[in-house]
Chain A
């Protein structure tokens, strides 16, 4: 059994479990707690609602609904629920008996809550009515007084209108009016929501043609509608009009527009009595209401204490039955048969867990675990810990590794922070980043609970950030760069002239001393510093890039060996690595060689030993344009011409090698295989085979389902694309690594600009201005350093590193067409639901 490493994914086994039906539930519960098995669906053709345990799931669904119902009720009552703690995770899945009890309990609680809600609502509705009535009584008093005076004017105007009628008649009418007026001026009083008021007025006006007198007043007390539990602003209105028909119509309109009507007596005394009575009743009702509310609250509080653990239990149970729905019954329906993937190293743990579960349930029927041999593609499982998790996630985001292929995640742990640091190299920035990550790491237990998308993104990558900070400090020391300033630890290798005029350009002369580590601080601030650092950083980018890619190509070997394709090492790996190293490997060599030569050395006669340092870029270009010829003035080393010709020839030979060798090898393999399977019994097939193509189709059907049909043209096309892609990518990917240089340059320049523009300008001042200026300058410099350099620049460097890993490095060997191993675990079930 292979040991657990991050280099390859775990070895997986397909296991088959025979679980006696009566202990199936506790067994699956135990496996769920363990979270190490990914079950396969054994009845994919069965509809979701025709599976074995649908009724149980339905029951649990109902219980989950009840839990949600309680949850909303509790939230409405603003009672704090105990959060999902580690203890709650631990609440075990229960036995069937306990589930029955729980269901009973939930139902009981629900009944009580619903009843209480019901009575509370009735009471509240009554309360609402009484409050509205009270307001109506209070407001209408004023309306009636106004209306009375108004009535007189109405009557007066009618009198005037009647002026033409004979006097006698008029008198009679007048008397009638006096009586009728009192009797017939009907009124409607009620309450309507303020939003509807306008429509209400408009509709009334239109349908009665203005024959009404309406008065309304706002209720300042907010009124809660028991149906929707929303606070609604309402208005009291009173409408006076003549005639029974019209009054009826008004009533109908008001009711259909959602107004509540209250009858009010027109005598002021009776109104006052009613008002007092209503106020009294409201007080009584208030008592009852608060009592009901109290008991309801107490009940909810009781529920709130247990709700989390109930919910957890229900969810776990549901997950168990969902899993059991994937299982098969054996012929006697006594056993459940489960199939699933697990890491081969975990089998003993699983067996142990099963044994525990069966023993705990007190039955003597053991569950049986057998390992199956299969040709099915196993899922990929990388066992990670909290340190490697973040790095693996970066790789998984690109693609899940094919089963047992080399996992780039392992190398990413170092290469990622390193490439990042080359772009981000600065001791100060690196240190700040390191501190931030250190804070996250030291408080990880506490911070793990913070529920914030952006924060949890940083948090999950905390170890990555930690390493990125450390490496940035390291590279910062190489660049000798700390917030764009230099550190001066050792003796510098340059001497500055001691006497100079401040306006002159001065030149430092080498004193033979070699600065032991990183850039010599004398470079800082010098005019040609940028030339020097650019040249260095550019070459460094190429060297690191080529090494990174060559390493990626080399990793292919492990894959070829592991997948038993040793021939591919000769057919694919060798031409690739030769091609790459004969062009770009050679370039790297030249860079190193050029560094190692003292181009300005003189012989004893004072003549230059070497020619002027040659331009490497031109050298590479002319290696292709005029093979074999090297301009003696630009010669790097003697014998350069022939060596370059040989390298070029190697590279050229590699192209057809890459292109044709593999497809023809595969074809030969296939033919050999085919001869063996059809030898002797079918001459026709043999003839067909001779002709070259075909053959694959009739064989595939009888062969194992795993074996794919072989189509030569397809393989050929695929290989053509692959070859062209590889050759072009060699150039473009190498160029792509130049981003290391570009970003590093940008970072250094940005940080020096920031230093010069916000902080350094204040150094010249003194006195109060100097103090205040320094204070503001520092604040600006520091916050901009944090936000722009650490935040934005860091993010951009991160993204570029990500790209270099995904495209340039992974592209060389990583197939990434695997399936992720997703074990059945309560932990994931609960976490997914609580989101």
Chain B
């Protein structure tokens, strides 16, 4: 109750701004218009008619999909930065938490890239702008896990998450994957705990979203580890301990060997049951996860006085960018039969 009373005092303005941004999210008709486009130029015309407005008007033709994606992301980052700059505690901390996941992605991207001896500058350009931090470029130098930690990560907010990874020695494909998942697990748990301290509707809304995120990761890790050399005890260590599957579900998944077992474990939960029903439509598990994520994020906007909307908006907007880029790719590669597999946000 108290949070509702005083919410607008600190966060009312920025919440209003955000809900304004939210109303600019593309709706079904606009997607329908997009999918009818014959060329990228048509798409540019259509995007011009949406809230993106003049975003693309200064791009020379022909328009490339990569430019499109860059511009769209830029817009999202601008919006986020504006919100971040205006926010005060604890919202600003909450927003920082949102950036951590992009940091994790960037760190992993850079070390994987370095492992494959890719050009550093290309890698830096491909990093998500929301997850950039000052000493990030120096990641390219690191060759061992300890070095990675001591040189760069120790001064980033990711440092505490990294503490669990220090046991690994070399940076190889498998270890990087383990690092990624360990980091993510620690991040999710930390974020979840933080949201719970905020209490009120934030805790409720973010709780649902993060629990689903955790379950999704658990399921993904399980399925992806089939047939790899990852020991089962290690697999269990990677599972976030905040999901709805925790603890029995996690325990069962840790020893699962095939897809059917995963399905049986998850079907306990009514919401998760349809994900594993492969007979209907050609949608993959990943798509269904995305759909459910979008659904949860959209739900966040049904609640007043919660920070979940900020998280949800970024996620929805990301999905929207993915959708537009997908449509653009389908158009430019003449794959119009698959153009409708985007995931509608509204």
Contact = CB atoms under 8 A, between A and B. Distances in A.
A256 B42 contact: no
B147 interface: yes
Contacts of B58: 65, 68-69
Contacts of A58: 41, 45
B346 interface: no
A203 B46 contact: no
A252 interface: yes
Contacts of A258: 137
B41 A203 contact: no
B138 A253 contact: yes
A257 B137 CA distance: 6
Interface stretch (B15-23, B88-96, B148-156): B148-156
The 9 closest A-B pairs by CB, nearest first: A256-B137, A49-B42, A207-B151, A203-B138, A256-B140, A199-B134, A256-B120, A199-B135, A49-B45
Interface string B153-179: 011000000000000000000000000
Interface string A60-91: 01100100110000000000000000000000
B70 to A, nearest CB: 16
A206 interface: yes
A376 interface: no
A65 B62 CA distance: 13
A252 B57 contact: no
A48 B137 contact: no
A68 B151 CA distance: 46
Contacts of B147: 207
Interface string A192-212: 000010010011001100000
A302 interface: no
Contacts of B224: none
Given A206-B154, A207-B151, A256 B41 contact: no
Contact-residue bracket for chain A: 20 to 34
Chain B contact residues: over half helix, strand or loop, or mixed?
A: helix
B36 interface: yes
A206 B141 contact: no
A61 B151 CA distance: 50
B61 interface: yes
Among A206, A253, A255, A256, which residue has the most Cβ atoms of chain B within 10 A? A256
A109 to B, nearest CB: 14
Interface string B38-72: 10011001100100000001101100000000000
A49 B140 contact: no
B26 interface: no
B45 A203 contact: no
Contacts of B60: 65
Contact of A207 (B41, B42, B141): B141
Given A65-B60, A252-B141, A256-B120, A49 B135 contact: no
Contacts of A54: 45
Given A47-B33, A69-B58, A256 B150 contact: no
A196 B137 CA distance: 11
A49 B46 contact: yes
A608 interface: no
B296 interface: no
Contact-residue bracket for chain B: 20 to 34
Chain A contact residues: over half helix, strand or loop, or mixed?
A: helix
Contact of B45 (A48, A199, A207, A249): A48
Interface in B265-304: none
B150 A206 contact: yes
A48 B33 CA distance: 9
B156 to A, nearest CB: 11
Contact of B49 (A48, A61, A202, A206): A48
A255 B139 CA distance: 12
B119 to A, nearest CB: 11
B37 A49 contact: yes
Nearest to B42: A49
Contacts of B33: 47-48
Given A48-B33, A257-B138, 17 more contacts: A47-B33, A48-B49, A49-B37, A54-B45, A58-B41, A61-B57, A62-B61, A65-B57, A65-B60, A68-B58, A203-B135, A206-B150, A207-B138, A252-B140, A252-B141, A255-B120, A256-B120
A288 B324 CA distance: 46
A252 B45 CA distance: 45
B141 A253 contact: yes
24 contacts: A48-B33, A48-B45, A48-B46, A49-B38, A62-B61, A65-B58, A65-B60, A68-B57, A196-B134, A203-B135, A203-B138, A203-B151, A203-B152, A206-B152, A206-B154, A207-B138, A207-B141, A207-B142, A207-B147, A207-B150, A255-B120, A256-B140, A256-B141, A257-B138
Contacts of A202: 135, 155
Nearest to A68: B58
Contacts of B142: 207
A797 B60 CA distance: 53
Interface in A245-266: 249, 252-253, 255-258
A332 to B, nearest CB: 26
A455 B147 CA distance: 64
A68 B54 CA distance: 12
A48 B44 CA distance: 11
A404 to B, nearest CB: 35
Nearest to A251: B141
Nearest to B133: A199
Contacts of A199: 134-135, 138
A199 B155 CA distance: 10
B260 to A, nearest CB: 47
A254 to B, nearest CB: 10
A318 to B, nearest CB: 12
Given A65-B57, A65-B60, A207-B151, A47 B138 contact: no
A68 B57 CA distance: 10
A767 B139 CA distance: 83
Contacts of B49: 48
Interface in B111-158: 120, 124, 134-135, 137-142, 147, 150-152, 154-155
